Every structure is written in C-alpha cells, then in structure tokens.
Amino acid sequence: MIRVISSPSMSTMGLATLILAMLTPLSLREGIRCRRYSDPCARAQRGRKPHGSNRTAGTKPQLGRLASSRLRLASPIDKRMERLMSLRRLRFAASVALLPLVLGACKGGEAAAKQDSPPAPPPAEAAAPPAVQIAANPPSMTREFRDWTATCDNTNHCVAFGPGANQMGFVLVALAPGPDARPVVHMGGWGLEDGEGSVYAEIDGRRYAGRNAKMDEEGDVVAFNTPSPQLLHDLGGGATMALRRGDRQMKVSLGGAAAAFLWIDERQGRLDTTTALIRRGERPASDVSAAPAAPRVTIASAAPQDGLVQDDLSPALLAHPKVQECLATSRKGERFEPDVVVSRLASDKLLWSVPCGEGAYNFTQVYFITPADGTSPQPVDFPTATGSNDELVNSRYDPKSRTLSAFGRGRGIGDCGRMGSWAWTGERFALLNEKAMPICTAVPQDLWPTTWRAAT
C-alpha cells in the first residue's frame, strides 16, 4: 500500500514527479539522466565509444556511420529486454492509475493553503510615474571580428565597420532595427584628395559609385543610402577592396566583415529573412523582430541661476578627499585652472564641477551635488551604456536644457573616443545618449555607432 502525504508547500507537478520516481526502476532513471545531461554517459552504459573518438582532428563525421548507428538501435530486442519493458509498462500503468489520487490530494492541500493565507492588501493609490521608465532592452554590446567591429545599442540599432590602410579610411554599414529597416553604407577617409574625379569603391574588380560628399577640408565620404544586394554581398564575401579616385587608391580590409554582418543579423532577428545582411533566406521581412522601445527620461524643470558665486569651493567641498586629490593635479598657484563651475539644479540643490586633471586635448572633471549651503557634498556617478563613471572628460552642464555633455577624445583630431549626454531628472542624472568609436580611422562623429539612446 502506498501512502500519499499532501503538503501545501508541494506543488502538483512536484508530487506527481515524486510518485513516478518511486515507481521507476533505478536502471531506467539512470538511463533518463544520462540521455538528458550527457550523451557520452549514455554511450558508456551501452559499452560503446562516443562517435568521433577515433577520428582525426578536423575531419567531419560520415553520414554512413550515423545511419548505421541508427540501424543498430532498431535491431530485435532480446528476451531479457522484453521482460524489462513489460515491467516498465506495468509500473507506468500503476502510476497512471494513481495520478487522480495524487491530483486530488494536491488540490486539497492548495485549497487549505489558500484558506490559511492572509487576505491581500487593497491596491495602493496610483503613484507618480518614475523619472526614468526603463523598458526591457537588450544590452549594449560591441564585438570584434578580425579587422571589423560591430556595435548594437540598447534599441538594437547596429553598426559594423572596418578600417582602411594606415587607419586613414573606413567602410561602415548601419542597420536600424525592425522589419522595415534597410542598411545604409558609408565609406571614405583621407588621402584621396589629389586624385581626379569622384571617389568610388572597387571590390574584386567590380566598381561601386555612390553619392560623394566632403568630410572636411581633406576627407571624402561616399554614401550608399540604398545599397544594392550585390554591394552587401561583396562587402561580406569579397577578397580585396579599395577606395579609388583617379590614380589614387586606399586599400580596405574586409577580414571579419561577414562575421560582423552575421552577428547583427542574429541580434536583430534577421537570419534567413529577405532583409538579412548576409544570411538571406525566404522568410518574409514581417518575421523580423520589432524594434525595442527606448527608455523614457523625464527632464526636471529649469532652475534660476542668479545669485551664484562662481570659482570658489565651499569648505565642505575643499575638505572632501576626492577634491583634495583633484586639487593636487589641477591647481595652478592657489586656484583651480580651469575654474570651478557651480550651477543650481533646484532651489535646494547645487551642482559643482571640479577640474581633476588635464592632457593635451582632454580635461577631466568630477561633479558633486550639495544642498544650497554647500555642505554634505555627494559625488555624482554617471551611468554609461555598460557601467558608470565618476569622472567625465571635456564636460559641461547646460542649465537651460538641464543636460550635461562630455566628449573624451581618443586623439586630437577627434575621429575616435566616446561622447555622451545626461539629463537631470530632479533626482539623478540619467543617460540620454552615448556614442563610441573604439578605433581611430577617420570616421566622422555623426557616423559613430550609438551605444545608448533614450527618449524624452
């Protein structure tokens, strides 16, 4: 006789699983465990080596071996196995017969648990919406594939880019999320100015001409707002590429482009659809995942800036260890250089910008928030796409827009680095936008990949 004990803490599925486990032979349970977690474990029980154990590294398994192994599994069952299967069928029938009893006991336990639980509290009054409403966004990610790099932000806007020779040029493919998005291709750089005519691309002998524009006094950009499928195919599968203008040329590496395109296709849910960058198929564009909504940020109201005394730190700020550290690296004589900047966030809050180091073209600042009297300074930690920073580079707060911007240059000409902007919500600084170009290869700032975007 089997006695079933019901407990409010035991679920229906859990109790049924327990009864089935009691009724299942040990050998059968072990076989299930092996098949579920480890194929080699199951093969060891059968006394055979795993497929491929005797194969030379790099060779592919042969279809004949796989087919013959399936045929061996279909061989006649001996008498011993027949008896074992009969026993299992009897135990299975017994377990099925017991299931109504088990389910009845569990339902009774659940009902008792509901009676003993305290009543749910009444719903609270509707609260004000938070200053930052974050959707279920994918993480911002950057991946390297040989010479190419791919970045997708928190809304699945993606960019793949590769460098020209001597870091003097680039090819960049941008693709927004969603079924209706189509790729846009830009390529260009410096060093082709002395050639005659327009800049064009040549991949494996095929010529591609786009819309030419001047990047700056020395650089050129060629845009393909509706690139042909053949151009995308050649970018992903071509062997050699060069940007040309008359007798001038710049070689561009395509190594890693195919892998970067494939990663973007997978990230945006485009694999095997008609809109994929590289792995196209017959699935319609409607099968592509919709674009994730950007998190929404509510910016606080503007505060008056009159009556503020600039350049001087309060005694509490001067005594802060971080300010002391910055003072040692940024002081010229008895003053900070450049000067301290104070702004009013609200009637009872001040924002202090304190210089904290400098280089040839990068100037670092740290920020503190204090009450109106300048006491109890709290350092500001600014969120980024992948973490946070307590120091910003070349930053400035704009009281009119209640936004703070920063731009850390990778080199003096500003073709690489990281830039971002934050908005004051009344409680904290929320990240609005971030762009990053990890390689210095002449890419204009308006083409940099976005690593974070928010809506206001």
How far is it, in rounded angstroms, from Cα 311 to Cα 332?
13
Q: What confidence score (pLDDT) does residue 193 get?
A: 87
- pLDDT class of 203 with cuts at 50, 70, 90: very high
Question: Is pTM beyond 0.75 here?
Answer: no
Task: Check whether 389 has a pLDDT greater than 80.
Answer: yes
Q: Could you write out the DSSP letters of every residue in 46-66?
A: HT-PPTTTTSPTTPPPPHHHH
Q: What confidence score (pLDDT) does residue 327 get?
A: 86
Token pair 């809109």 in the structure block, residue: 275
Establish how many alpha carbons lie within 13 A of residue 304's alpha carbon, considering only the half-sphere containing its beta carbon: 3
Extract the tokens encoding 256.
Answer: 């890693």
Q: How far is CA 318 from CA 118, 340, 353, in A?
A: 55, 12, 13
- pLDDT class of 216 with cuts at 50, 70, 90: confident
Q: What confidence score (pLDDT) does residue 136 get?
A: 78
* Strand ranges (E), 184-272: 184-190, 200-203, 206-208, 211-214, 219-224, 241-245, 248-252
Residues 422-440: what's their mean pLDDT?
98
> Which domains are seen in the chain, by residue range?
1-46+95-111 (no CATH), 141-287 (2.60.40.1880), 296-453 (no CATH)
Task: Check whether 18 has a pLDDT greater than 60.
Answer: no
Q: What confidence score (pLDDT) does residue 135 get?
A: 53
Residues 342-369: what's their mean pLDDT?
95
Question: Exposure string (b/e) for 263-296, b if CB count within 10 Å is 16 or more?
Answer: bbbebbbbbebbbbbbebeeeeeeebeebbebbb
Q: What confidence score (pLDDT) does residue 119 get?
A: 44
How far is it, in rounded angstroms, from Cα 413 to Cα 211?
25
Task: Check whether 81 has a pLDDT greater than 50.
Answer: no
39-46 and 26-37 helices, crossing angle to 10°: 140
Please compute Rg for the chain using Cα positions: 33
Residues 75-103: what's their mean pLDDT?
43
- pLDDT class of 131 with cuts at 50, 70, 90: low
Most confident of the following: 10-24, 143-157, 212-226, 336-350? 143-157
Q: What is the pLDDT of residues 132-164, one digit of tens each?
A: 555 579 999 999 999 999 999 999 999 999 999
Extract the tokens encoding 49.
Answer: 């080596």
Q: What is the pLDDT of residues 245-300, one digit of tens each?
A: 999 999 999 999 999 999 999 999 999 999 999 999 999 999 999 999 999 999 99
How far is it, in rounded angstroms, from Cα 73 to Cα 42?
13
Q: What confidence score (pLDDT) does residue 312 get?
A: 82
Task: Check whether 354 has a pLDDT greater than 90.
Answer: yes
How far is it, in rounded angstroms, from Cα 390 to Cα 321?
14
Q: What confidence score (pLDDT) does residue 122 get?
A: 40
Extract the tokens encoding 199.
Answer: 């800049």
Question: Exposure string (b/e) for 17-27, b if CB count within 10 Å is 16 or more?
Answer: eebbeebbeee
CB 281 within 8 A of CB 439: no
Give the chain's mean pLDDT.
78
Q: Could you write out the DSSP letters of every residue in 397-448?
A: EETTTTEEEEEEESSTT-SSEEEEEEEE-SSSEEEEEEEEE-S-S---GGGS
Which has the minimum average pLDDT: 9-18, 191-200, 257-266? 9-18
Of all helices (H) and strands (E), which one includes residue 451?
strand 450-453
Higher pLDDT, 426 or 41: 426
Task: Check whether 47 has a pLDDT greater than 90.
Answer: no
Q: What is the pLDDT of residues 365-387, one digit of tens each?
A: 999 999 999 999 999 999 999 99
Extract the tokens encoding 213.
Answer: 């524009």
How far is it, in rounded angstroms, from Cα 405 to Cα 446?
16
Task: Check whether 97 has a pLDDT greater than 80.
Answer: no
How far is it, in rounded angstroms, from Cα 135 to Cα 125?
23
Task: Check whether 74 has a pLDDT greater than 90.
Answer: no
Higher pLDDT, 5 or 331: 331
Task: Check whether 421 has a pLDDT greater than 80.
Answer: yes
- pLDDT class of 331 with cuts at 50, 70, 90: low
CB 300 within 8 A of CB 424: yes
Q: Are strands 248-252 and 341-346 parallel, antiparallel or unpaired?
A: unpaired
Q: What is the pLDDT of residues 293-316, one digit of tens each?
A: 999 999 999 999 998 987 788 999
How far is it, in rounded angstroms, from Cα 21 to Cα 39?
22
Task: Check whether 184 has a pLDDT greater than 70.
Answer: yes
Share of the chain above pLDDT 90, in %: 62
